[in-house]
Copies of this chain bind each other. A is one copy, B any other.
Amino acid sequence: MRNRVFVNAVDTCGHPLELVVVDGRFAEIGAKVHAGDGVEVVDLQGRVVLPGFVDGHIHLDKSFIGDRWHPHQTTTSLRERLAVEKRELAAAPPILERANALIRQAASFGTIAMRSHVDVDATTGLGNLHAVMEAREAWRGLVDIELVAFPQAGVLSCPGTAELLDAAIAEGAEVVGGIDPTNMDGDADGQLDVIFGIAEKRGAKIDIHLHEPGQQGIEQLHRIAVRAQALGMQGRVAVSHAYALGDVAPDVVDTVAASLAKAGVSIMTNAPGNRAFPPVLQLRAAGVRVFTGNDNIQDAWWPYGNGDMLQRAMLVGYRSGFYIDDDLHVALDMATDAAAAVLGGDYALRVGNAADFVVVDAPNAAAAVATAPLERTIFRQGAAWIGRALA
């Protein structure tokens, strides 16, 4: 592997940056590096260098990317939505084909790791999981993919699901999923008993979809925090969406945030378009890790999304009222380091790490987030990879 020095770049703050890559890893990073003779020089033309993006929440088995356009269908209940989804997906190309298309598109924007939820329920069994595991194998070494066994249809209310979740972890999913324990199963402790039980038994992590609103959702977060702390699962439990945190008064947020921080429970938000969502800065100030992900991408749930985590960071900032550079950096952190910490990976620009990075046509990280330019080049182990051409 040819050694390279990358010159004429800028760092997140817009300061001069050079990078030396030896054997695919960062050997030196600084304003002015000392490359040896005979290394290949790559001119980054004043562009900003960002770490590879980490998508903390995606559904690789659901997207229609790689298939024709599926017009969104209106439904009046969750049951109907799930039926529509099953019908639409049954008529779409196989999961492996669609998952590959979505991973390729996400990678072309600079995503190098992702946590994918995969439906596991009594009718689906482990079929979706096996297909997404096959896609994961195909991308091994290129995009790191962590899998969540996701009980989309509920746990207790969908007999057989508990056993399937356990089997999914045994077969290679790293994370036990959950969903709206009260609203889906009518028995919060019942669902939490099952998923925390599997996590404890298998040494798995936990990621719970929580759409429950207001005080109901807050109580659920307290329950989850208590269990995470009791089981010593700090840093291994996440709650996705947690809309309730956007519904309640700031002092209520502060109280539950203290519990979440103490229990090491992370919060994922994709900054939805027309729904209140967690107050990012307030949670971070309280010590809660907040990360982001694209969630649904052109699927039966909604038509938006393209897999780009830089655009997702922009939407997080746009929806959160992030104007100053420091806040824009928070949005980027949610799509890089914070998400990486949840997945357990280290994709930072640091000497010794794999030389994976994204070059974006912007003068610094704040500008990259605020404007999310599409022109970018992705480098994996120091070599240009699939990506959008530089303009």
**Chain A interface (Cβ < 8 Å from any Cβ of B):** 14, 68-69, 71-74, 273-274, 298, 302-306, 314-315, 317-321, 323-325, 328, 363-364, 366-367, 370-374
* The residue from B68, B314, B321, B325 contacting A274, defined by CB atoms under 8 A apart: B321
**Nearest 5 A/B pairs, CB to CB:** A273-B318, A303-B370, A274-B321, A72-B323, A374-B374
What is the CB-to-nearest-CB distance from A66 to chain B, in angstroms, rounded to a whole number? Answer: 12
Q: List 22 A-B contacts (CB under 8 A).
A: A14-B69, A69-B363, A69-B366, A69-B367, A71-B324, A72-B323, A72-B324, A72-B325, A273-B317, A273-B321, A274-B319, A274-B320, A274-B321, A298-B371, A303-B323, A303-B367, A304-B317, A304-B318, A304-B370, A304-B371, A306-B371, A374-B374
Please, how many angstroms separate the alpha-carbon atoms of A254 and B14 in the complex?
49
Counting every copy of the chain, the complex holds 2
What is the CB-to-nearest-CB distance from A278 to chain B, in angstroms, rounded to a whole number? Answer: 13
Given A303-B370, A306-B373, CB of A363 within 8 Å of CB of B68: yes
Q: Are B71 and A319 in contact, with the CB atoms below 8 A?
A: no
Query: Which of chain B's residues have a CB closer than 8 A to the CB of A306?
Result: 371-373
Given A14-B69, A68-B363, CB of A328 within 8 Å of CB of B314: no
What is the CB-to-nearest-CB distance from A29 to chain B, in angstroms, rounded to a whole number? Answer: 22
Interface centre among A319, A366, A370 (most CB of B within 10 A): A370
Q: Are B370 and A319 in contact, with the CB atoms below 8 A?
A: no
What is the CB-to-nearest-CB distance from A311 to chain B, in angstroms, rounded to a whole number? Answer: 9
Q: Are A71 and B305 in contact, with the CB atoms below 8 A?
A: no
Q: Are A370 and B321 in contact, with the CB atoms below 8 A?
A: no
